[in-house]
Structure formats: structure tokens, C-alpha cells
Amino acid sequence: MYHDLGYYEVPLPEDVEKLKTYGDYDGAKKLIQMMLGREKTSETMKKRLLLELDVLKMLGDSEYPYTFDQAASMMHEQIRDFCDEELTALKESGEADWIYINGKVHFQRLFLENLIKTRPDYAQRQLVLDETEEAERKQDLLNKNVRIMKEQGGRCVKLHLRASVQPAKDFARVGEKVRVHLPFPKKCQQISDVKLLHASLDIKFIDSEDALQRTVYFETTLRENQKFEIEYEYVNRLSYVELEPERAQGIALPTFYTQEQPPHMAFTPYLWMLLDEIIGTETNPIRKARLIYDYVTTHVMYSFMREYFCISNIAEYAAVNLKGDCGVQALLFITLCRMAGIPARWQSGLYVTGPYTGPHDWAQFYVEPYGWVFADLSFGGSAYRKGEFERWNYYFGNLDVFRMVSNSDIHAQFHPAKCFLRADEIDNQVGEIEYEDGGLLRSQILEKQELVEMTELPYVACK
């Protein structure tokens, strides 16, 4: 069953909320099934309860597998001079994500990786320091990109990528029919000349080049150890912009991409009050967008997240909890921009370099006379925290060339449509797999993306 996430706006019955908060997921599922069988339960509430059943499926052991003792043991093994009181403090400060399962604290599956990524003191206390050189190389690449973009007025590269997905060993049902969607570059403002170079088996369908969430589609009988793999290339061309507020003063903005898009871009009372705090009486659209950018990049702490499907309103979650990953931060920026009358929209796909290639999300916003420009909130926030203020300013209006774009909106259908719950209901960056009776979750698949080659091309400015 493919869900309409708009039903997230329907409140859950109080007794279901109580059981969920306590972490009694079996009890919550039992109560939901009872309510679904009641004649007096409205059709609208039934759709909300069915949505919640899949939320409960994603929570628990797969998303929050570690008890306090297990989490503390992991910290002792990997962090020098660690004591259990630190984990308690991290839990209480919200820096280590946790929930109750049957009344006991359980930590999110990426809590340790998140601490090492976001807390330099923990990164320095690692007993095995194996990512320092890679992190430094990433910073060098980004700073070099800023310099090249400013010197040349833009940059153009050809990128050759390889991507694959397959069921994890325990979820590989050999001999059964399987349907697979892999993300594929879409034509958009910066992406052109997309070419499929290789596929590990015959592709049944490739979506149109302007699809909101573009994929290639496989359908076959699963073989043992079968991997679904593609190679492709494309050109990424970006022009550098320096946004000058004076040029936008007094120019009316269009109304496209200024509407609510519930549940994750809902204009809630709290967000209206927060927006008023952020922009005050400012009327210039570029200055308003910059105030919103500054707020998100300086107030929202980067944090790995549970699956987005488990959050009922992502933009408000970021504003209330002041934490979130790249997509959470982008959704808060987009929502606040739309509320301020500034057109804003989603882009996502991959961040692509030799040291690291993997999923990433960012935003676009529209201001005259520049048109659509970019904002990368997590990269901007990272630069701010490192004192790299030139790079912080750069990501308000600009993007680097190390990107593959496969999504230009959230909640868009695939073609052919996926029949069951997706591993990622927001967009598609690593791939989706489903059998005849249901889809696999993110924790049940193996995925890989890698840069094969990046070629620098001559940059020619648009006339």
C-alpha cells in the first residue's frame, strides 16, 4: 500500500500516543488493529492508523537497536577514557538520539557515528583515527571549488558514476519476483548530457529526463547474490553568483513554490512566530532569505536522523529540536522561505567525490533578477562551525560541482509506481527494492555509490 502522507496531519488517538511514547509497540499495534475493526472509526482515522502501523514497523529494534548498556559498551570500545556518565549527559542534551522501547532507553543505530562527526572532542578521542585525512581532503576540495568558481565565474565538469543496490543477505529471497528502482540523473538547471553507460541486466524502464524523482527500473526473478548496478555520466555546469540585495529591492516575486506542502512543509503557528523573530520587519527578499539561512546554519545542530517516515512534520521538528541532517535543515529553510513569500524548492541526490560519495540534500530559492539560486544548509553550517566564513557565505546562493541530481521534489511517485512502503518516502538517493508482498527497509538493503572519474571541462559563461 502506497501511503498519502497528508494523513500525518490527523492526530493519533491519545491511547495510541501513550503506548508509542512508552515504547510498547506491540501494544500500540494491537490497539490500532482493534480500532481499525471498529465500525465507528472514521475512514480518515483508519488511513492515519494504517500509516502509523508502518511507522511502528520502522521504529524499534531496526532503528533504535542499542540499550544503554550496549551503547555504553560501544563508547568504551571506541572512545578513549569514556565513562558512562557521559552517555547520560549526551542523552539529556539531545546529542545522542534515543527513544523508549518497553519503558527502557534505546539509542539510534548511528548515534556513535553522529557524535564523532559533530563533536570534534569525540573525534579526537577515537581509539582508531582513520578518517582524519579523508575529512581534511574534503575541506580542501570544497575550498578549492570556491576559489575556482570565483576566479572563473563558474565551473564545468563531467562525472562518471557507478551505483548499485541489492537485498541484504537475510532479506534476499532467491527465486522470487523483485522490482528495483535506482536513482538516475535528471535534466535540471545544472545537469545535462546524461548518458547510461552500463547496466548489470536489462532495464525495463527509464523515467523521463525531467521526472521529479528520476529512476531506472528493473524487474526480474532474484538470483543468488544478485546486484543491480548501473554506470552513467553527465555534465554539471554552475555559474557563480554574488547576491546583491539592492538589485532585488522593490521587485515583485512570483507565487510559484510558495505554497504549503504538508506534512513536512506545513505553515504551523510555531513556525510563523519563529519566522517573525528571524526576519522582523525586513522586506528585501535576498536579505530575508539570508536571515533564514543564517538562522538555520548557526542554530540547527547537524545530526544523523531516524528514517524521515517516522517524523510527522520535518520542518517543525528541526525548528523545535534545533537538530537535523542535510534534508531536515533544507526542509526548514524551504518552508520558512515559502512562508516569507520567497519561492523555494528541494533538490537532492548525491555528493560525489573520490574520498566520499553518498546521499545529500539541499535547497533552491528564487530571487529577482537572479532566478533560481542554491542554498546548502548543512555544508554552510559545517563551514560556519569550522570558522570557514568565506565558504559559509558561498553556500548562500551557490553550490559546488560535486553533485548528482535525481530529485527535484519530495513525495513524488516513481514510474512505474512503487506498490508498497518505500525505504525513503521523501525522495530516492540509494535505491528501492520490493517483492510481490512488500518492500524492503533501508536497513534491509546494501547500497553503494562511487565516483569512477571526474573530468574538468572548459567553463564558458552564459551570454
Q: What's the CA gap between 71 and 378, in Å, rounded?
A: 26
Q: Which residue's C-alpha cell is 520502522?
A: 58
- Backbone dihedral angles phi then psi of residue 178, each to the nearest 5 degrees: -135, 145
Instruction: State the DSSP code for 134.
Output: H
**pLDDT exceeds cutoff 60 at 1:** no
**pLDDT exceeds cutoff 60 at 251:** yes
pLDDT tier for residue 328 given thresholds of 50, 70 and 90 = very high
Average the pLDDT over 228-252 and give the result: 96
Q: Are 353 and 159 in contact (CB under 8 A)?
A: no
pLDDT tier for residue 129 given thresholds of 50, 70 and 90 = low
User: C-alpha grid cell for residue 129?
Assistant: 583515527
Q: What is the per-residue burial (b if ≥16 Cβ within 10 Å, else e) of 302-328? A: bbbbbbbbbbbbbbbbbbeeebbbbbb
Question: pLDDT per residue over 169-187, tens digit each?
Answer: 999 999 999 999 999 999 9
Question: pLDDT per residue over 372-412, tens digit each?
Answer: 999 999 999 999 999 999 999 999 999 999 999 999 999 99
Q: Are 403 and 161 in contact (CB under 8 A)?
A: no
Average the pLDDT over 99-105 and give the result: 91
- pLDDT for 462: 67
**pLDDT exceeds cutoff 60 at 142:** yes
Question: pLDDT per residue over 264-277, tens digit each?
Answer: 999 999 999 999 99
Q: What is the reported pTM?
A: 0.91
CA distances from 396 to 131, 365, 400 (A): 28, 10, 11
Q: Which of 178, 243, 242 is nearest to 204 (CA)?
A: 178
Count of all residues that appear for the chain in the document: 463
Q: Is the peptide bond before 11 cis (omega within 30 degrees of 0)?
A: no
pLDDT tier for residue 421 given thresholds of 50, 70 and 90 = confident
**pLDDT exceeds cutoff 60 at 131:** no
Strand 344-352 and strand 205-206: the pairing is unpaired
Average the pLDDT over 200-228 and give the result: 97
Q: Is the peptide bond before 416 cis (omega within 30 degrees of 0)?
A: yes
- pLDDT for 2: 45
Average pLDDT, the chain: 94
Q: Which of 318, 281, 282, 283 is nearest to 301 (CA)?
A: 318
Selected residue with higher pLDDT from 119 and 146: 146
Return the minimum-mean-pLDDT range out of 183-187, 411-415, 422-426: 422-426
- pLDDT for 3: 59
User: C-alpha grid cell for residue 111?
Assistant: 548515534
Q: Is 355 exposed, middle or buried (0-12, 13-18, 19+ CB in 10 A)?
A: middle
Question: pLDDT per residue over 288-306, tens digit each?
Answer: 999 999 999 999 999 988 8
User: C-alpha grid cell for residue 435?
Assistant: 517483492
Average the pLDDT over 61-76 and give the result: 91
**Helices and strands per DSSP (H, E), number in the chain:** 15, 19
Instruction: State the DSSP code for 96.
Output: S
HEC string for 309-356: HHCCCHHHHHHHHCEECHHHHHHHHHHHHHHCCCCEEEEEEEEECCCC
Average the pLDDT over 359-366 and give the result: 98
**pLDDT exceeds cutoff 60 at 248:** yes
pLDDT tier for residue 332 given thresholds of 50, 70 and 90 = very high
C-beta neighbour count of 102 within 10 angstroms: 12
Return the minimum-mean-pLDDT range out of 344-358, 372-386, 414-428: 414-428
Average the pLDDT over 332-345 and give the result: 98
